[in-house]
Amino acid sequence: MRNLSTAAVMMLAALLPTQAAAQPEPADLLIVRGHVLTLNERREVIRDGVVAIRGERVVAVGGAELAARFAARRTLDARGALVLPGMVNAHTHASMTVFRGLGDDVPDRLRRFIFPLEKHFVDREIVHWGALHGIVEMIEGGVTTFADMYYFEEEVARAARLAGMRGVLGQTIVNFPAPDAPEPYGGIARARRFIADHRGDPLITPAFAPHAPYTVEPDRLREIARLAEELDVPVLMHVAEMTDEIANLRRDHNRTPVQHLESVGLLNRRLVAAHCIFVDDADIELLRASGAGVAHALVANIKSAKGVAPVTKMLAAGVRVGLATDGPMSGNTLDIIGQLGYAAKVHKLDRRDRNVMPAVDVVEMATRGGARALHLEDRLGSLEPGKLADVILVDTDSTAMVPLHDPYAALVYAASPRDVRTTIIHGRIVMEDRRVLTVDAAAVRARMRAITDRINAALAKGLPP
């Protein structure tokens, strides 16, 4: 425009709206007439809103008038629905759906039930079908990104790609023989291979997943920190979850788990620390300063009677906190909508203050917060131009959602995961009108039942537990 006179520029500018109307921009998907919760920095809400998607990205978000600007290949009518960013499940073990409901309400489950069950049963088939079933549940419940750590993690990745699901997936590393690696720490080599195989995948971010401070020695943690830096990948880990973890680290190293991770070079912007129940103010400051993410698995934490992570303090300090379900043998469900009410209410109880953790903060933690916890906030977590198009439509027509005085309160205090109508991941509709399009969910259920029958038959013969 440098050679044009000011008058000419003004004339052109005056013409632009007409030209825009005459030559609409292309879009692949236009979501119209929805009640849009952008979850952007200003938490903008648009009562009769439009979201325009081109390829895998959001290209525009605005009022009803925006629709005319686009010529879309497909238009979704979102009347009667809330339109918001897809939710992030910041920590789970999706494959464990096969064990869901086994051995609930018993003490010392990890060593008495979970580890033995995994030792005897976990194989490629269980990991794949268990993950696929869990991913179906997440898609149905409005989760569009999950962080997962398990064995045979490549089978979780295969399931995620099949379903069109986004994942930050970590191959587990432990100091004992694992279902997928007969040698202690065989997971390190597996993780390197897994990372090499999935580098650059549009949906999968591969990661290291050292199990916990009490199952991986400090030298190995240092090695993993170096490799993660070298390979530029995240590190997923259970942190400050168990009382004996705290006691033993204090005894052996005179450190808290967070201090321990700092000492081995893991406390940084690659880390996603699940749980963080037992952290003090100094730990919280370390978490904030390091830029580490925290996956808050409240429902699983209280079901196991462990306690309530001090998340109101973490949020006040500016720590990156997302919500998480933990595995379905710990929290039983994998959707995030089911976590929202607990997050709002249990923190009010814990702090004895009904003003803390208001509904809007909880929805933010489930979306934008989860993206921050996974270090993906440049790409995910809000409906804004340039972000990846992970979008959900949540019906407001179910009885519990009527009337709708406040959309955040309705989501947190009244919605069910079954209210999710449509789920879009990376610009692709993976569920529409409650029907998953990418996977035959009934066939997956049938396979799950066959696997369960096999497990139960083995358990009946006296295998553990």
The mark string for 388-427 relative to a second copy (x by CB under 8 A, - otherwise) is: ---------xxxx-xxxxx--xx--xx-xxxx--------
Helix (H) or strand (E) holding 221: helix 218-231
- Contact status, residue 373 vs residue 457, Cβ threshold 8 Å: no
Nearer Cβ to a second copy (107/200): 107
- Contact status, residue 142 vs residue 337, Cβ threshold 8 Å: yes
Residue 11, phi then psi, degrees to nearest 5: -65, -45
* Rounded least distance, CB 214 to a second copy, Å: 19
Does the protein bind a second copy through residue 302 (CB under 8 A)?
yes
Residue found by looking up tokens 């358990």 in the block: 459
Instruction: Locate 397 and state its tokens.
Output: 């027509």
Among positions 106, 247, 282, 457, the unique one binding a second copy when judged by CB under 8 A: 106
Q: For a second copy, which stretch binds (CB under 8 A), given 10-18, 62-70, 340-348, 369-377?
A: 340-348
Q: How far apart are CA 376 and CA 382, in angstroms?
A: 11
* Rounded least distance, CB 32 to a second copy, Å: 21
Does the protein bind a second copy through residue 334 (CB under 8 A)?
yes
Does the protein bind a second copy through residue 98 (CB under 8 A)?
yes
Does the protein bind a second copy through residue 335 (CB under 8 A)?
yes
CA distances (Å), origin 37, targets 119, 327, 351: 44, 28, 28
Give the total of residues touching a second copy (CB under 8 A). Answer: 67
Q: How far apart are CA 422 and CA 437, in angstroms?
A: 10
Nearer Cβ to a second copy (30/337): 337
The mark string for 186-225 relative to a second copy (x by CB under 8 A, - otherwise) is: ----------------------------------------
Nearer Cβ to a second copy (160/286): 160
CA end-to-end span of the chain: 75
Does the protein bind a second copy through residue 346 (CB under 8 A)?
yes
The mark string for 31-70 relative to a second copy (x by CB under 8 A, - otherwise) is: ----------------------------------------
The mark string for 108-137 relative to a second copy (x by CB under 8 A, - otherwise) is: -x-----------------------x--xx
Residue 320, phi then psi, degrees to nearest 5: -80, 105
Does the protein bind a second copy through residue 441 (CB under 8 A)?
yes
Q: How far apart are CA 222 and CA 230, in angstroms?
A: 12
* Rounded least distance, CB 407 to a second copy, Å: 9
354 three-state secondary structure: coil
Does the protein bind a second copy through residue 449 (CB under 8 A)?
yes
Helices (H), 72-140: 109, 115-121, 124-140
296 three-state secondary structure: strand
Q: How far apart are CA 117 and CA 266, in angstroms?
A: 30
Nearer Cβ to a second copy (76/126): 126
In the range 351-380, which residues lie near a second copy by CB under 8 A?
Answer: 351-355, 357-359
Among positions 27, 53, 78, 102, the unique one binding a second copy when judged by CB under 8 A: 102
Q: How far apart are CA 35 and CA 50, in angstroms?
A: 9
Closest to 256 in 3D by CA, of 233, 229, 228, 277: 277
Instruction: Locate 259 and state its tokens.
Output: 């201090």
Closest to 89 in 3D by CA, of 359, 413, 371: 371
Residues of the shown chain interacting with a second copy in the complex, contacts defined by CB under 8 A: 97-102, 104-107, 109, 133, 136-137, 140, 299, 302-305, 307-308, 331-335, 338, 341-342, 344-346, 348-349, 351-355, 357-359, 397-400, 402-406, 409-410, 413-414, 416-419, 441, 445, 448-449, 451-452, 456
